[in-house]
């Protein structure tokens, strides 16, 4: 499923997250990179250097927007100022699709700046799907939602996380950004089989895949994006690609960020799996 209506019928390859420590390298060395993912909120500003750098990047690279604070799952109404700024950025970047997380993080106008887990209830699915539709109508590009890592579950949940994801995306008629590292982290924290998750995702809705590293503690795993991708996560990725096909893939590395080349080399490891998927398809 290389190109579909959820990634605006694009066929992007392997990208990495655009991060400030790499700005100089990118602008001076102009490395060959399929695409960059930006954190939308970093550029939802009025002016200054971040926007100038973004414009320079846009001159030379394909850019996709990824948000961290739309909070589709928050019970409160959408923040109109947030939406207005987001749409202005969408016009600037011409992002083919727009992603954010299947989570909540604000209530009564107060922001936690975290990706808090959803209670997997039908009410939550209905509220979340309605908000995704509202955002999609407003920004006028396909919206895709990303599964988050979680460390807690709620008594009130009525279904599994992947059933909830399916319920939301069907109701909202939106795409999925499948984060295979988050599936792994949550599977370890909540003791489920990550392949049950991957095998249940509607392949035709997956617009993009995230890969990343994490940190293991004695009793749980944290999604820290500060390490290379571990083998069990690559195995989940391989299975996802086997089901979905060649899909735009992005490596997230947000803390203890190594050199540009190290991050890019780590991302390019995905090529092995994408190539084998292509061979299978051809054979």
Partner 1 sequence: MNLLAIQRRMARAVMTPLTRDEQMRPTAPGGGSMRAEAAKFIKPNDRLTSFERLEIYNRQYWFRVLSGFAEDFPGLRAVLGERKFDAVAKAYLTDCPSESFTLRNLGSRLEGWLRKHTKMLGDRAALAIDIARLEWADIDAFDGLAEPGLKQEDLARANPAKLRLRLQPYIHLLDLRYPVDDLLLEVRKDADELNVASNAFSERQKKKRVRQVAALNPAEIFLAVHRLDESVFFRRLEREEFAILSALASRKTLAKALDAAWIGSKISPENRQSRVQHWFQTWSSLGWFCHIEKNFKK
116 belongs to the binding site for partner 1 (CB under 8 A): yes
Nearer to partner 1, 2 or 67 (CB): 67
Nearer to partner 1, 47 or 283 (CB): 47
Task: Determine which residue in the list 3, 34, 87, 114 makes contact with partner 1, applying CB under 8 A.
Answer: 114
Task: Determine which residue in the list 55, 123, 196, 204 makes contact with partner 1, applying CB under 8 A.
Answer: 123
What whole-number distance in Å separates Cα of residue 43 and Cα of residue 26?
18
End-to-end CA distance of the chain: give it in Å, rounded. Answer: 16
215 belongs to the binding site for partner 1 (CB under 8 A): no
Output the smallest distance, CB 25 to partner 1, in A.
Answer: 18
What whole-number distance in Å separates Cα of residue 200 and Cα of residue 142?
22
159 belongs to the binding site for partner 1 (CB under 8 A): no
How, if at all, do strands 175-179 and 104-107 pair?
unpaired
27 belongs to the binding site for partner 1 (CB under 8 A): no
What whole-number distance in Å separates Cα of residue 75 and Cα of residue 41?
21
Task: Determine which residue in the list 21, 31, 154, 261 makes contact with partner 1, applying CB under 8 A.
Answer: 154
189 belongs to the binding site for partner 1 (CB under 8 A): yes
Nearer to partner 1, 81 or 231 (CB): 81
In 10 A of CB 122, how many CB atoms?
12
Task: Determine which residue in the list 9, 156, 204, 276 makes contact with partner 1, applying CB under 8 A.
Answer: 156
28 belongs to the binding site for partner 1 (CB under 8 A): no
152 belongs to the binding site for partner 1 (CB under 8 A): yes
* Nearest Cα residue to 221 out of 100, 230, 256, 165: 230
What whole-number distance in Å separates Cα of residue 195 and Cα of residue 241?
12
In sequence order, which residues have a C-beta less than 8 Å from that of residue 212 and are 6 or more positions away? 179, 181, 182, 223, 225, 229, 233, 251, 252, 253
Q: What is the binding site for partner 1 (CB under 8 A)? A: 41, 44-52, 69-70, 73-76, 79, 81-82, 104, 106-114, 116, 119, 121, 123-124, 127, 151-157, 189-191, 219-220, 222
């Amino acid at each position: 499923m290389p190109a579909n209506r959820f990634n605006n019928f694009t066929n992007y390859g392997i990208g990495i997250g655009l991060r400030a420590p790499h700005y100089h390298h990118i602008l001076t060395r102009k490395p060959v990179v399929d695409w960059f993912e930006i954190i939308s909120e970093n550029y939802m500003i009025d002016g200054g250097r971040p926007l100038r750098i973004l414009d320079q990047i846009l001159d030379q690279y394909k850019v996709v927007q990824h948000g961290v604070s739309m909070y589709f799952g928050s019970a409160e109404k959408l923040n109109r100022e947030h939406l207005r700024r987001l749409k202005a950025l969408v016009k600037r970047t011409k992002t083919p699709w727009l992603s954010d997380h299947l989570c909540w993080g604000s209530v009564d106008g107060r922001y936690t700046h975290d990706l808090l887990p959803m209670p997997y209830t039908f009410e939550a699915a209905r509220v979340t799907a309605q908000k995704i539709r509202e955002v999609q109508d407003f920004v006028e590009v396909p919206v895709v939602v990303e599964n988050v890592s979680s460390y807690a579950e709620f008594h009130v949940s009525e279904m599994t996380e992947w059933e909830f994801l399916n319920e939301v995306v069907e109701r909202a008629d939106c795409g999925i950004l499948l984060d295979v590292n988050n599936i792994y982290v949550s599977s370890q924290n909540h003791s489920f089989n990550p392949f049950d998750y991957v095998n249940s995702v509607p392949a035709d809705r997956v617009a993009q895949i995230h890969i990343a590293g994490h940190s293991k503690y004695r009793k749980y795993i944290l999604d820290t994006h500060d390490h290379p991708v571990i083998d069990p996560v690559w195995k989940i990725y391989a299975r996802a690609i086997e089901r979905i096909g060649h899909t735009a893939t992005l490596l997230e590395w947000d803390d203890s960020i190594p050199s540009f080349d190290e991050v890019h080399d780590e991302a390019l490891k995905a090529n092995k799996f994408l190539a084998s998927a292509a061979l299978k398809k051809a054979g």
